Amino acid sequence: MNDHLERLNPEQREAVESLDGPLLVLAGAGTGKTRVLTTRFAHILMSNRAFPSQVLAVTFTNKAAREMRERVGAILGRPAEGLWLGTFHALCARMLRRHAEYVGLSSSFTILDTDDQLRLLKQVMELHRIDPKRWPPPGMMGAIQRWKDRGLTPDRVTPAEDTDFGGGKARQVYADYQARLRDLNAADFGDLMLHIVEILRTRPDVLAQYHRTFRFILVDEYQDTNTIQYLWLRLLAQKAPGEPQNICCVGDDDQSIYSWRGAEVENILRFEKDFPGARIVRLESNYRSTAPILAAAAGLIAHNEGRLGKTLRPGRNDASGEKLLVLGVWDSDEEARAVGERIEQLHRERHPLSEMAILVRAGFQTRAFEERLITLGIPYRVIGGVRFYERAEIRDAMAYMRIMHQPADDLAFERIVNTPRRGVGDAAMQMLHTTARTHRIPLAAATLQLLAEGSLKGRVREGLGQLMACLARGREALARGGEGPIHVAVVETLLDESGYTEMWKKDKSAEAPGRLDNLKELVRALADFETLGGFLEHVSLVMENEEQAGTDRVNLMTLHGAKGLEFDTVFLPGWEEGVFPSQRSLDEGGNKALEEERRLAYVGITRARKRAILSHAANRRIYANWQSSIPSRFLDEIPAEHVEQAGTASLAREQLRSAPPVFGGQFPLMAKRPRVVEAWEQPGRPPRENALPVGTRVFHQKFGYGTVTGGEDNKLDVEFEKAGFKRVLDSYVEPAGA
Ligand code: ATP
Ligand code: MG
């Protein structure tokens, strides 16, 4: 009956079978922590120590929860139902529904989305006469969220905890915001945990009830719990003296990657103190990866200081295995092409697509790969995220472009008319629609008419007036044209002047920087096209390419989203300074942020079972400019004996390293692809001859004299002396001599 135990090594077995008392499994990647947790769950049920509803199991993602439910079901031989199994938030939402009245809510409370939260907070701030220009509401939201993550209800925020934000009124705003939520019978995301912790703290009867219910508590990815999650676990697990404290947490300090969201790896260190007599089990055999992959990951993470220290050795007998492949490529296009070709090749060799993953540092990086996979007809899915062109900020920005390009596009107009907020409420919208219908004109034209008639008043008038003026200026600039892709600058200006970019800059939520990066990436993509129309057409074709049916698809996701997962083949692109480690971590300075990036790199490599392919591009486009990039320091930290180098730019890499830095640490820019064709690089665009190197002084028939700053294919970026920066066709340009 207990044959599930036979597939465990002795240490794993110990962790599964020691059911009584607190237990911490502290072990490296791929050592079977999740397997131990799942098997322990099944073992508890099969040895009749508890009913399924008496086990509380916490996973980090919904996907992990689903997998655990399936695995427990498989071991039990029947579907596992009625389980308290899920993410912290899912479990807390369920608990809160049962006891909502204790915090002044009814059990049917609504969970607000971020838009609604912000609207409500703005109202509260207005009542306090806090200047939203000086103290942007998203910033205040951030402060409140941080308090909530730390378990601080308004009355627990001491003056010492208060922030300067809001001119000393932040605490009061927080209190009033909570009161408004209560009036509306609503909770925001942070409240789900905050309220239930408050209830458990103040209601011994409720706490006692859960102590009786939960005989066993299981927690995966324990290293990434934040304070409030930790408080919740401790409340549920610390029972009266003499009662069993059957909590089992598994984690790996080297995989703590959420400190930016308030996670505290110290929670691992506190475990023994909080649960005296806790047993600690270490697992040392890695069953996931080949020896070279493990050795590479171990070599990398050894550069972090202050680790708890663990041993990790290959648990499988194959000491063989491919080395890590490090591809140096010319630019991000070539990177996407190289990855695409390898995927095709592996697929031809009968490797399933679902066993391949592309793991990126930041969401914006998926675009190049998505487009490449679509071009190649390779099905893919974006896990834990949305396909690039379906992301909200990208759809918004596209709507701005569409309405500028095609003033009759009512759908686009409706999408952006009040994004950012311009005071266009239901009444104003109604008016626009009526005018449009009556005169059979598009909404944008109706807006112009109402503005001209003076029928719109106050803030709406001002807001829409500005919007229409921006659009008109953009259209004019496009019509005037000029050499090269003027549309790139026009779109950038439109997004700036309309206040759209600003909206995200002011947003202090954790997602905002990623959204801004996505917008930059969109502008970069735009520069690949001659005209705005051409780009819009391209995107509509890409979008039409719906998620293909069938399950065999390549996985695309961020490194953060890949935690706990595994694949035969893992692609790790963009290993360049400023991308990975991220620019933000470098700007922060010091070791803390950098070490977290390194842990992320460790998570990335250890997702691979059989092969890991890392890549770095020598050039990246920043807006419409090219900038050369330096290979990630993490590449150098991987012991060389486990790495094989390949690619067009692997030579260039050595040259780059030995070249003296100019421009504040940047290396000299190169305007053209070098003429190097490796075996794996299909002859795509032929690299052009007679390139004009960066720095060359040139003459253009229309724009006069200027200096080359970058370029691609038959286009050159030129800083003109009179006309400023332009991207022009190189056939119009000739060297001017010094
Ligand atoms: P991570 O730190 O990445 O979350 P983990 O420690 O949770 O990793 P698991 O995902 O549980 O590790 O296991 C890694 C792989 O090793 C899985 O494919 C699992 O099925 C396999 N595995 C675990 N233990 C054994 C074992 N005793 N024998 C064979 N395979 C095992
Ligand atoms: Mg795991």
pLDDT-based confidence at residue 409 (cuts at 50, 70, 90): confident
| Res 543: pLDDT | 65
User: What is the DSSP secondary-structure string of 175-200?
Assistant: HHHHHHHHHTTEE-HHHHHHHHHHHH
Tell whether 590 is covered by a domain.
yes
pLDDT exceeds 90 at position 727: no
Q: Which of 42-51, 200-209, 314-323, 375-384 has the highest mean pLDDT?
A: 200-209
Q: Which helix (H) or strand (E) element contains residue 726?
A: strand 724-729
Q: Which atom of ligand 1 is nearest to the CA of 8?
A: 27
| Res 307: pLDDT | 82
pLDDT exceeds 50 at position 662: no
Determine the Cα–Cα distance for residues 392 and 292; give it in Å rounded to an integer: 41
- Residue 457 counted as an annotated binding residue: no
| Res 672: pLDDT | 33
- 221: annotated active-site residue: yes
| Region of poorest pLDDT, from 55-69, 451-465, 658-672, 675-689 | 675-689
Determine the Cα–Cα distance for residues 422 and 458; give it in Å rounded to an integer: 10
E strand spans, 495-607: 554-558, 567-572
Q: Read off the CATH number of the domain in which 501 is found.
A: 1.10.486.10
Helix (H, G, I), strand (E, B) or coil at 677: coil
Determine the Cα–Cα distance for residues 88 and 225; give it in Å rounded to an integer: 9
Which of 33, 287, 609 to mutate to test ligand 1, by most ligand atoms within 8 A of the CB atom?
287
- Identify the active-site residue in 12, 34, 245, 709: 34
Residue predicted with more confidence, 470 or 412: 470
User: What are 253-283's pLDDT values in tens digits?
Assistant: 999 998 877 777 778 878 888 888 899 999 9
Nearest Cα neighbor of 637 from 596, 601, 611 is 601
| Res 502: pLDDT | 94
pLDDT exceeds 60 at position 451: yes
pLDDT exceeds 90 at position 152: yes
Q: Kindly state the average pLDDT of the residues 190-215.
A: 95
* pLDDT above 90 as % of the chain: 50
Helix (H, G, I), strand (E, B) or coil at 617: strand
Q: How far is the CA of 74 from the centre of ligand 2 (A)?
A: 18
* CB 34 less than 6 A from any atom of ligand 1: yes
ipTM over 0.95 threshold: yes
Tell whether 527 is covered by a domain.
no
pLDDT exceeds 50 at position 663: no
- Reading the block at residue 20, the tokens are 């009584």
Size (the chain), residues: 738
Q: Which of 84-93, 353-362, 534-543 has the highest mean pLDDT?
A: 353-362
pLDDT exceeds 50 at position 664: no
Q: Kindly state the average pLDDT of the residues 50-67.
A: 86
Helix (H, G, I), strand (E, B) or coil at 547: coil
Determine the Cα–Cα distance for residues 465 and 443; give it in Å rounded to an integer: 14
Query: C-alpha distances in angstroms, 144 versus 62, 70, 121, 133, 403?
Result: 25, 37, 10, 18, 37
Q: How far is the CA of 34 from the centre of ligand 2 (A)?
A: 4
Strand partners, 570: 357, 612
Tell whether 686 is covered by a domain.
no
Q: Residue 357 contacts by C-beta under 8 Å, 6 or more apart in sequence?
A: 554, 555, 556, 557, 562, 565, 567, 569, 570, 571, 607
Q: What's the whole-number average pLDDT of the chain?
A: 85
Q: Kindly state the average pLDDT of the residues 304-329.
A: 81
Residue predicted with more confidence, 244 or 341: 341
pLDDT-based confidence at residue 675 (cuts at 50, 70, 90): very low
Q: Are residues 405 and 430 in the same domain?
A: yes
Q: Are residues 409 and 370 in the same domain?
A: no
Angle made by CA atoms 497, 362, 620, in degrees to the nearest 5: 75
* pLDDT above 70 as % of the chain: 89
pLDDT exceeds 70 at position 545: no
Residue nearest to atom 31 of ligand 1 (CA): 287
| Res 623: pLDDT | 59
Estimate to the nearest angstrom the gap between the alpha carbon of 13 and the chain centroid.
Answer: 36
Q: Which atom of ligand 1 is nearest to the CA of 287?
A: 16
Q: Kindly state the average pLDDT of the residues 629-646.
A: 94
Phi-psi region of 350 (alpha: psi -120 to 50; beta: other; left: phi over 0): left
| Res 259: pLDDT | 80
- Identify the active-site residue in 11, 33, 361, 393: 33
Tell whether 689 is covered by a domain.
no
* CB 67 less than 6 A from any atom of ligand 1: no
- Residue 27 counted as an annotated binding residue: yes
pLDDT-based confidence at residue 677 (cuts at 50, 70, 90): very low
Determine the Cα–Cα distance for residues 637 and 599; give it in Å rounded to an integer: 13
pLDDT-based confidence at residue 669 (cuts at 50, 70, 90): very low
Ligand nearest to the CA of 28: 1
Where in the sequence is the domain holding 215, given as residue range(s)? 3-95+195-283
391-396: list long-range contacts, CB under 8 Å, 24+ apart. Answer: 391/363, 391/515, 391/518, 392/515, 393/504, 393/515, 393/518, 393/519, 394/518, 394/519, 394/522, 396/500
Q: Are residues 413 and 552 in the same domain?
A: no
* CB 252 less than 6 A from any atom of ligand 1: yes
Q: What share of the chain is helix, strand, coil (3-state, %, to 5)?
A: 50, 15, 35
pLDDT exceeds 80 at position 542: no
Nearest Cα neighbor of 271 from 313, 217, 312 is 217
Which burial class, exposed, middle or buried, applies to 223 when counting CB atoms under 10 A from its CB (0-12, 13-18, 19+)? buried
* CB 31 less than 6 A from any atom of ligand 1: yes
Determine the Cα–Cα distance for residues 112 and 316; give it in Å rounded to an integer: 48
Q: Are residues 579 and 481 in the same domain?
A: no
- Reading the block at residue 179, the tokens are 């009161």
Helix (H, G, I), strand (E, B) or coil at 70: helix
Q: Are residues 422 and 489 in the same domain?
A: yes
Which of 4, 6, 34 to mutate to test ligand 1, by most ligand atoms within 8 A of the CB atom?
34
Q: How far is the CA of 565 from the centre of ligand 1 (A)?
A: 10
Ligand nearest to the CA of 606: 1
Domain-terminating residue out of 136, 154, 184: 184
| Res 541: pLDDT | 66
| Res 630: pLDDT | 93
- Residue 122 counted as an annotated binding residue: no
Q: Which of 312-321, 475-484, 681-690 has the highest mean pLDDT?
A: 475-484
Q: Are residues 321 and 274 in the same domain?
A: no
Q: Kindly state the average pLDDT of the residues 657-673.
A: 36
Q: Kindly state the average pLDDT of the residues 635-662.
A: 68
pLDDT exceeds 50 at position 679: no
* CB 287 less than 6 A from any atom of ligand 1: yes
- Reading the block at residue 601, the tokens are 């790199």
Annotate 287-345 with three-state secondary structure.
Answer: CCCCHHHHHHHHHHHCCCCCCCCCCCEECCCCCCCCCEEEEEEEEHHHHHHHHHHHHHH
Tell whether 396 is covered by a domain.
yes
Q: Kindly state the average pLDDT of the residues 105-128.
A: 85
Tell whether 255 is covered by a domain.
yes
Q: Kindly state the average pLDDT of the residues 295-302.
A: 94
- Residue 446 counted as an annotated binding residue: no
| Region of poorest pLDDT, from 103-117, 183-197, 320-334, 580-594 | 103-117
Q: How many domains does the chain divide into?
A: 5
Determine the Cα–Cα distance for residues 711 and 692; give it in Å rounded to an integer: 9
Q: Are residues 312 and 277 in the same domain?
A: no
- Residue 31 counted as an annotated binding residue: yes
- 255: annotated active-site residue: yes
* CB 314 less than 6 A from any atom of ligand 1: no
Determine the Cα–Cα distance for residues 68 and 74; give it in Å rounded to an integer: 10
pLDDT exceeds 80 at position 176: yes
Q: Are residues 149 and 245 in the same domain?
A: no
Q: Residue 28 contacts by C-beta under 8 Å, 6 or more apart in sequence?
A: 252, 254, 283, 284, 286, 310, 311, 312, 606
Domain-terminating residue out of 658, 674, 706: 658
Q: Are residues 213 and 72 in the same domain?
A: yes
Annotate 403-454 with three-state secondary structure.
Answer: HHHCCCCHHHHHHHCCCCCCCCCHHHHHHHHHHHHHHCCCHHHHHHHHHHHC
| Res 676: pLDDT | 30
| Res 636: pLDDT | 95
Helix (H, G, I), strand (E, B) or coil at 356: strand
Q: Are residues 486 and 394 in the same domain?
A: yes
Nearest Cα neighbor of 77 from 51, 99, 45 is 45
User: What are 470-520's pLDDT values in tens digits?
Assistant: 999 999 998 887 766 788 999 999 999 999 999 999 887 778 888 999 999
Neighbours of 351 (CB within 10 A): 16
Nearest Cα neighbor of 256 from 218, 225, 294, 285 is 225
Q: Are residues 511 and 428 in the same domain?
A: yes
| Res 687: pLDDT | 34
- 33: annotated active-site residue: yes
Ligand nearest to the CA of 39: 1
Ligand nearest to the CA of 15: 1
Q: Which atom of ligand 1 is nearest to the CA of 606?
A: 3
Query: For residue 459, what is the DSSP state?
Result: H
Query: C-alpha distances in angstroms, 319 versus 294, 312, 314, 323, 586?
Result: 11, 14, 8, 11, 36
Q: Read off the CATH number of the domain in which 560 is found.
A: 3.40.50.300
* CB 13 less than 6 A from any atom of ligand 1: no
Q: Read off the CATH number of the domain in which 730 is found.
A: 2.30.30
Q: Are residues 498 and 358 in the same domain?
A: no
Q: Kindly state the average pLDDT of the residues 643-649.
A: 81
Q: Read off the CATH number of the domain in which 180 is found.
A: 1.10.10.160
Strand partners, 720: 706, 724
Domain-terminating residue out of 151, 184, 217: 184
Tell whether 65 is covered by a domain.
yes
Q: Kindly state the average pLDDT of the residues 603-627.
A: 88
164-169: list long-range contacts, CB under 8 Å, 24+ apart. Answer: 165/135, 165/139, 165/140, 166/125, 166/128, 166/130, 166/135, 166/140, 167/130, 167/134, 167/135, 169/128, 169/130
pLDDT-based confidence at residue 27 (cuts at 50, 70, 90): very high
* CB 30 less than 6 A from any atom of ligand 1: yes
Q: 339 with 573: CB under 8 angstroms?
A: yes
Q: 485 with 523: CB under 8 angstroms?
A: no
Tell whether 673 is covered by a domain.
no
Determine the Cα–Cα distance for residues 670 and 667; give it in Å rounded to an integer: 9
